[in-house]
């Protein structure tokens, strides 16, 4: 983001994270697990600035719609009261939750690639090379996604900050978004410290992880079928039914909650329905395991 915008946002809205620092700790945790190099104060300030911008944009959008659709004054006043808070809070919450969503994306990448990375790690460990070399080799394989990124952090902590391999593994394990990967790192650390059989440990973990991966894929395919039925009923059949009812009501005349039927149809078709579809697609994307 432009540094001038970040500085302006922090100056204007920096009081929010300072006042509500305790309540915003989940956002801080999300930033750490997402690997985003932002302080809590900076990110919340940017989120608040974008929320205000979205509220102003909603007023400009309403002005354009009111001219185009020739909306009545009462409708314009009502939407002027409702839309800015709705747009502003939605934008703020979307930005505040983005680190969590990114952390979940990293988690999915780690857990999707973990069975295959574990097989590779077990093969490397079987050759008798040090654990540091095992993680160094993992950094060269982009196919493992975020696991390669986590391995780079372990290697960086050793090379740049001078940490021992066990301390580096522990530090990365505390911040990784994947519980399974955290447990794996803890197991590797424990094997190193106690002199356990790292090769056998990794081979057993690889076998269990591959089995769990197959089960998760089968369950997701069943769940996706349920999502398809839900989408057909709620976002295809229901809107068509409502449009038919509102069309008949518009022919008869009258209003609903002080707004004309035509205005409600326009907002429903061009605003509400696209937003609901986008939300549904985002939900499916967030719950989809990576392959």
Q: Is pLDDT at 146 greater than 70 in this prediction?
A: yes
183-205: per-residue pLDDT in tens? Answer: 999 999 999 999 888 999 999 99
Average pLDDT across the chain, whole number: 87
List the one residue out of 173, 149, 178 whose CA is nearest residue 163. Answer: 173
Higher pLDDT, 10 or 75: 10
Average pLDDT over residues 140-166: 92
pLDDT digits (tens, 9 = 90+) for 94-139: 998 899 989 988 998 898 899 999 999 999 998 888 999 999 999 9
Q: Please say if the pLDDT value at position 238 is more than 70.
A: yes
26-55 average pLDDT score: 90
pLDDT score at 46: 92
Q: How much is the average pLDDT of 15-35? A: 88
**What would the mean pLDDT of 22-44 be, rounded to a whole number?**
88
Q: Angle at Cα 147 formed by Cα 142 and Cα 151, nearest 5°?
A: 95
CA–CA distance, 71 with 8 (Å, rounded to integer) = 36
Record the tokens describing residue 66, joined without a space: 């009111």
- pLDDT band of residue 290 (cuts 50, 70, 90) is low
Mean pLDDT, residues 51-75 taken together? 86
CA distances from 52 to 9, 60, 84, 87, 266 (A): 10, 13, 8, 9, 25
| pLDDT tops 90 at residue 291 | no
Residue 286 clears pLDDT 90, i.e. is over it: no
What's residue 289's pLDDT? 62
- Domains in the chain: boundaries: 3-103, 108-214, 216-287
CA atoms within 13 A on the CB side of 110: 24
**Phi, psi at 124, each rounded to 5°:** -65, -45
Distances in whole angstroms, Cα of residue 129 to Cα of each of 23, 86, 125, 134, 155:
46, 57, 6, 7, 15
Q: What is the reported pLDDT for 131?
A: 92
pLDDT surpassing 70 at residue 279: yes
Q: Is the pLDDT of residue 29 over 60?
A: yes
């Amino acid at each position: 983001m432009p540094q001038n915008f970040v500085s302006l946002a922090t100056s204007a809205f920096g009081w929010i994270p300072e006042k509500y620092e305790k309540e915003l700790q989940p956002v801080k945790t999300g930033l750490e697990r997402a690997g985003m190099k932002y302080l809590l104060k900076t990110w919340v300030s940017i989120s608040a600035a974008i929320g205000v911008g979205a509220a102003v944009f909603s007023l400009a959008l309403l002005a354009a719609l009111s001219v185009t659709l020739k909306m009545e004054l009462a409708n314009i006043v009502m939407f002027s009261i409702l839309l800015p808070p709705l747009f502003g809070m939605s934008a703020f919450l979307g930005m505040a939750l983005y680190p969590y969503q990114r952390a979940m994306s990293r988690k999915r990448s780690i857990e999707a690639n973990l069975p295959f990375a574990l097989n590779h790690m077990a093969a490397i460990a079987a050759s008798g090379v040090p654990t540091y070399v095992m993680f160094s080799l993992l950094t060269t394989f982009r196919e493992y996604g975020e696991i390669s990124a986590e391995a780079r952090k372990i290697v960086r902590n050793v090379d740049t900050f001078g940490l021992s391999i066990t301390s580096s593994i522990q530090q990365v394990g505390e911040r990784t978004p994947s519980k399974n990967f955290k447990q794996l790192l803890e197991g590797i650390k424990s094997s190193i410290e106690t002199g356990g059989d790292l090769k056998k440990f990794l081979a057993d973990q690889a076998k269990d992880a591959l089995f769990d991966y197959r089960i998760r894929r089968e369950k997701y395919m069943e769940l996706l079928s349920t999502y398809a039925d839900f989408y057909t009923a709620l976002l295809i059949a229901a809107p068509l039914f409502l449009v038919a009812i509102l069309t008949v009501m518009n022919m008869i005349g009258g209003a609903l909650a002080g707004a004309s039927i035509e205005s409600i149809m326009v907002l429903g078709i061009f605003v509400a329905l696209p937003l609901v579809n986008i939300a549904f697609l985002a939900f499916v994307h967030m719950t989809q395991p990576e392959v």
